[in-house]
Chain A
Amino acid sequence: MLTILKMAWRNIFRYRSRTTITLVSIVVSVFIAILVDAFLMGVFTQSEVNMLSYECSEVVVYADGYLEKKELFPADIVIESDTRNQMESAFRKEGIDYSPQYRTTAELVFYDEDADFEGTLNTILLGVNPNMDSNVFLRKEGIETGEWLEEGDDGIVVGAGIAGKLGLEVGDILTVECKGMSGFAQTMDVLVKGIMNTENTTFNASYVLMSLDQMDAYLELDGAVNMYAISDGKLSRASDSFTEKVRRVLSGIDGIQVYDFEEDNAGYMAVLNGDKGGSYMVLVFLFIIAGAGIVNTMVMSVLERRKENAMLRAMGFKARTIRILFLAEGMIVGVIGSILGTLLGALVNYPFARFGIDLSNLMDGVDMGYRISFVFKSAWSSHSFVSIPILAVILSTLASFIPVSRVNKGEIAATLRKV
């Protein structure tokens, strides 16, 4: 077997230009695959962390029927105060971090002679408990100017995107128009206490936060909220066991439902999976191109070495051994190409993963669905550094199967005669 591998190794260098072309196609495919995977993983990971840090929690509790109408911001599907008391008692008993919220839509009206913007802006108005919000989210840490909310305070904090659009500054008075729980229209003149500039640009562009007790007073919530955000403190999707724990803890309470991140964000997950599928199809296409290159190289090798193979068969080499010789050649090219492609991919990806790329100019006002930060960082995925090269080696070996199957066809004499 050692001799066969030695022959395979030397045969690779026998057709230098052809091997180089195949090698380059594998290197480029692996390099692009690693880079694309690192960027995709970066987008998905950063987006998810940003969602969990500022928008949606690892586990959420809604009143029955809220999730189905979530996008319509139903004002009247709420968790009443009695139920809240039961829930919070259960959470405290089990040491589970939570934060009650009331979410609705609001129209901001602002006029300033110096500002570019004049008119109204649709936003999401979120009532939060200023003391409990940090149990689940990083919103407070996102305050760039001004200060965070306080209970009983008549102010709001707005995202930097909104502030930028409206020309808002801390200390300005803003008119907020929304509907109360029973459907009445409410108009509030509120003080801008703080401006949040978080890692989540979508959040910055669309969220206005108000103290929950003030919102209760303005919108006559009567102690109700429409969601509880719950966290296990990890800023990643909750484990099944944690979700089950929350379900178990709340199992005796009627009128509420517990959902995990995927269930709560089914639309986002569908887009994410669709994008993942599309992106991986591109990678598959790349590998098919590289595979076609290998097939072509091996077909040429098999055809050019028909006489040599016939001689080996005449000497008593088994057909299987000759096939192994060619497969080894495909595999060696695959291994070399994969190693080089991986090294190149790692080298190019390193600055993107370590320092990131400043997309603030590109991202300003752009909503691409994903919650990418201004400084985007690709992922440093050891998983892709292993799986992509292995996949490339397997594919390059498999690609060799097609031409190799022709190696031992026909009578030896006929092969010797034809060449």
Chain B
Amino acid sequence: MIKAINLKKVYKTQAESVTALEDVNFTIEDGELVALAGASGSGKTTLLNMIGTLDSITDGDIEFNGTKLRGMTEKEKTNFRKLNMGFIFQSYNLIPVLTALENVELAFNPLSRDELEKTGVKDTKAAAMQTLKDVGLQGFENRRPGELSGGQQQRVSIARALVRKPSLILADEPTANLDSKNSKLILELMKNLNEKYGITVIYSSHDHQVLENVRRIITLKDGHIVEDRRC
């Protein structure tokens, strides 16, 4: 369960302070498929980054299964992300010198031997192959990102986020660089994976296709939640 309590984020520059989020409160249960919606600059990516410990919390807190995220050290954040989260980004962020299979298998690299055992994965290469198969990329294992289409690259990044079977996947504008056909494929894939593995998925997006494929939409405007509805 993810719980945001009076969450606030202020970006300070030399010239001014900008409040990106203020007074944000919500609870997301395990296994939910949620979209953070809103116009550009509304604070949805900031909120997603704060949940993912990629950005610091100015005030308030986020609780992840009872663990408070505010005040964590960098080392604790790194460890926390490694054990609980998967990320999907708008621009895929795949490692260009690795093949699709190696990119997915790379997700296991930060795990210690004990941590790997806890995931139940014995053969990381086989697990990466299976996940690529799950996202429909069987036969593309040995291709590098440069040899894949945008949709295929995003599917590799989904496989990379999924392969460790995290309890939460955060996807920042995952369809922004895709055409509608590929967007639909990706969203259906995510929906199926959410149902199949019970992984909590949070999107940040203003793409109507994304919003049509979630079960809950939290809408932000000027850093405040203006609507929280179930579909």
Which A residues contact B (CB, under 8 angstroms)? 3-4, 6-7, 10-11, 14, 307-308, 310-319, 321, 411-414, 416
A-B contact count (CB 8 A): 70
With A318-B78, A414-B55: A3-B107 Cβ-Cβ less than 8 Å: no
B74 near A: Cβ within 8 Å? yes
A11 touches B81 (CB 8 A): no
A308 touches B110 (CB 8 A): no
B54 touches A314 (CB 8 A): yes
B78 touches A316 (CB 8 A): yes
Complex interface: chain B residues within 8 A of A6 (CB) = 98, 102
Q: Shortest CB–CB separation between residue A338 and chain B, in angstroms?
A: 23
Interface residues of B in 76-93 (CB under 8 A from A): 78-79, 81-83, 87, 89, 91, 93
Q: Shortest CB–CB separation between residue B204 and chain A, in angstroms?
A: 12
Complex interface: chain B residues within 8 A of A321 (CB) = 109-110
Complex interface: chain B residues within 8 A of A413 (CB) = 45-46, 49, 54-55
B56 near A: Cβ within 8 Å? yes
Interface residues of B in 102-131 (CB under 8 A from A): 102, 105-107, 109-111
Complex interface: chain A residues within 8 A of B78 (CB) = 313, 316-319
A412 to B52 Cα, complex, angstroms: 10
A6 to B83 Cα, complex, angstroms: 24
Interface size on B, residues (CB 8 A): 30
6 residue pairs A–B, Cβ–Cβ below 8 Å:
A6-B102, A311-B89, A316-B110, A319-B78, A411-B55, A414-B55
A412 to B51 Cα, complex, angstroms: 13
B95 near A: Cβ within 8 Å? yes
Most chain B CB inside 10 Å of its own CB: which residue of A308, A311, A312: A311
A315 touches B81 (CB 8 A): yes
Tell me the dominant secondary structure on chain A's binding face. helix
B71 near A: Cβ within 8 Å? no
A307 touches B54 (CB 8 A): no
What residue in chain B is nearest A415 (Cβ atoms)?
B54
A114 to B91 Cα, complex, angstroms: 92
Q: Of B81, B89, B97, which one neighbours A416 at CB under 8 angstroms?
A: B89
Q: Shortest CB–CB separation between residue A272 and chain B, in angstroms?
A: 50
A318 touches B110 (CB 8 A): yes
With A3-B106, A315-B107: A14-B55 Cβ-Cβ less than 8 Å: no
Complex interface: chain B residues within 8 A of A310 (CB) = 93
Complex interface: chain B residues within 8 A of A411 (CB) = 54-56
Complex interface: chain A residues within 8 A of B41 (CB) = none
What residue in chain A is nearest B109 (Cβ atoms)?
A3
B89 touches A7 (CB 8 A): no
Complex interface: chain A residues within 8 A of B102 (CB) = 3, 6
Q: Which 7 A-B pairs have the closest CB atoms?
A: A316-B82, A10-B97, A413-B55, A413-B49, A311-B93, A316-B110, A412-B54
With A411-B56, A412-B54: A316-B81 Cβ-Cβ less than 8 Å: yes
With A7-B98, A10-B98, A416-B54: A315-B74 Cβ-Cβ less than 8 Å: no
Q: Shortest CB–CB separation between residue B53 and chain A, in angstroms?
A: 8
